[in-house]
Chains A and B, each alone.
Chain A
Amino acid sequence: MSEALVVVVRSIIAFFTLLIFAKILGKQQISQLTFFDYVLGITIGSIASELTIDLTSRAWPHWIGLLCWATLGFLMEYITMKWRYAAKYINGEPTIVIMNGKIMESALRKMKFPISDIMELLRNKNVFDLSEVDFAIIESNGQLSVLKKPEYEPVTAKDLKITKKPSGISTELIYDGILIEENLKQIKKDKKWLDKQLKSHGVKDISEVFIATLNPAGSFYVDLYKDHIKNLTDIGDYKGPY
């Protein structure tokens, strides 16, 4: 019996099982995870690690444990999606901690949130003065959302009555020196047009390009492998190994 071989096979099982279960569990972003989701992730990961290296017990019970946790997690997700009342109970709900510029002490006490933490979260949002805040809400994932008082809000194009062209999302036309013909067709352009654009940027061949994109406003961006920068800005404060 080769223990290393067994660990390799069990690792493959745990790895791909986790991958499949994670795909089924959905695409929730890490930043949107609630505390429970976080604990769920840690537990599932811990079961997977035991499945891999705990050779003193069969792989099967660990795998069943993994399946149960993933199924329960999926069920919880489904219930919270379909039943708003349960979602409020399970995921919690946003809590207003500053209302009309006034700190809600009772809400803070209820959530066991010290004011120093609120100040820290406000600083993370580039708010250093409490008097600038109109509303602050602790979201169910623990993050702080801040609404500044109107006089402290930055001026927008609408305030200045300026019309701006929508920039939209850029489409990749060349990636890693390879032309993406599907995207070129999608924006109704051809290779001739692309060659012309590249020539105007001093590019002789597609293979020189690392990435080239075009946004709906018509702005063409191209980045080459050779950047030809003479004066590099070094942000390091000491010499590293590279």
Chain B
Amino acid sequence: MRKFLVRAIPVATLILFISVMQSDIIYKIYFDNNNITDSINLIKNDIRDDKWIEADANIKQLSESWKRVVRIIQFSAELDEIKLLDKNISRLQGAAMAKDKANAFMELNEALEHWENISE
């Protein structure tokens, strides 16, 4: 038993560390169900159809989902990618307020790019 524990504890520790360091990938595969990607696509459609009220509500939802996701993936993802996606969401909120289609699409596409980069 003692010998087993001497080997099992380091192995279990390393597995735990690996899962923490890969939390972004694990989250995307098992828990996200394309939540962020779907939200971004939904906002794109709203803006394309000039549904600014719905877009505003969906951006708020995206912002809240993102805040929840960051808590999980912060230990594995790049700090820069997280900060850039934060900025994209803030700018997107501004663009929605100003009903600026061009800037909103730019921010949405960039946000999607950063989200894809996060678990690469």
Binding site for B on A (CB under 8 A): 1-3, 5-6, 9-10, 13, 16-17, 20, 23, 55-60, 63
Inter-chain contacts of B70 with A (CB < 8 A): 1
A147 to chain B, nearest CB (A): 42
B29 to chain A, nearest CB (A): 15
Nearest chain B residue, comparing its CB with the CB of A63: B21
A242 to B78, CA, bound (A): 47
Q: A16-B13, A20-B14, A55-B79 are in contact. Are A1 and B74 (CB under 8 A)?
A: yes
Inter-chain contacts of B77 with A (CB < 8 A): 58
B82 interface contact, C-beta 8 A: yes
Of the A-B pairs whose beta carbons lie under 8 Å apart in the complex, a sample of 20, sorted by A's number, is A1-B71, A1-B74, A3-B79, A5-B74, A6-B79, A9-B20, A13-B17, A13-B21, A16-B13, A17-B14, A17-B17, A23-B10, A56-B79, A56-B80, A58-B77, A59-B20, A59-B21, A59-B75, A60-B22, A60-B76
* 9 nearest CB pairs, A to B: A55-B79, A59-B21, A20-B10, A13-B17, A60-B21, A1-B74, A9-B75, A1-B70, A6-B74
Inter-chain contacts of A20 with B (CB < 8 A): 10, 13-14
Tell whether, in the assembled complex, residue B13 and residue A57 are in contact, meaning their CB atoms are under 8 Å apart: no
Tell whether, in the assembled complex, residue B82 and residue A1 are in contact, meaning their CB atoms are under 8 Å apart: yes
A57 to B14, CA, bound (A): 20
Nearest chain B residue, comparing its CB with the CB of A10: B75
Q: Which of B14, B22, B70 has the most CB of A within 10 A?
A: B14
Size of interface on B: residues with Cβ below 8 Å to A: 18
Nearest chain A residue, comparing its CB with the CB of B70: A1
Tell whether, in the assembled complex, residue B13 and residue A58 are in contact, meaning their CB atoms are under 8 Å apart: no
Extra A-B contacts (4), CB below 8 Å, given A59-B75, A63-B18 = A1-B74, A2-B74, A13-B17, A60-B22
A77 to B91, CA, bound (A): 55
Inter-chain contacts of B10 with A (CB < 8 A): 20, 23
Inter-chain contacts of A23 with B (CB < 8 A): 10
Inter-chain contacts of A5 with B (CB < 8 A): 74
Nearest chain B residue, comparing its CB with the CB of A67: B14
Inter-chain contacts of A17 with B (CB < 8 A): 14, 17
A144 to chain B, nearest CB (A): 38
A5 to B71, CA, bound (A): 10
A4 to chain B, nearest CB (A): 11
B27 to chain A, nearest CB (A): 14
A59 to B10, CA, bound (A): 19
CB-defined interface of B101-115 with A at 8 Å, one 1/0 digit per residue? 000000000000000
Inter-chain contacts of B13 with A (CB < 8 A): 16, 20
A235 to chain B, nearest CB (A): 43
Tell whether, in the assembled complex, residue A58 and residue B14 are in contact, meaning their CB atoms are under 8 Å apart: no
Inter-chain contacts of A55 with B (CB < 8 A): 78-79
Q: A17-B14, A20-B10 are in contact. Are A58 and B20 (CB under 8 A)?
A: no
Q: Which of A5, A56, A60 has the most CB of B within 10 A?
A: A60
A59 to B78, CA, bound (A): 8
CB-defined interface of B75-94 with A at 8 Å, one 1/0 digit per residue? 11111101000000000000
Inter-chain contacts of B74 with A (CB < 8 A): 1-2, 5-6
A192 to B75, CA, bound (A): 58
Inter-chain contacts of A59 with B (CB < 8 A): 20-21, 75-76
Which residue in A1, A2, A63 is a CB contact (below 8 Å) of B17? A63
B33 to chain A, nearest CB (A): 22
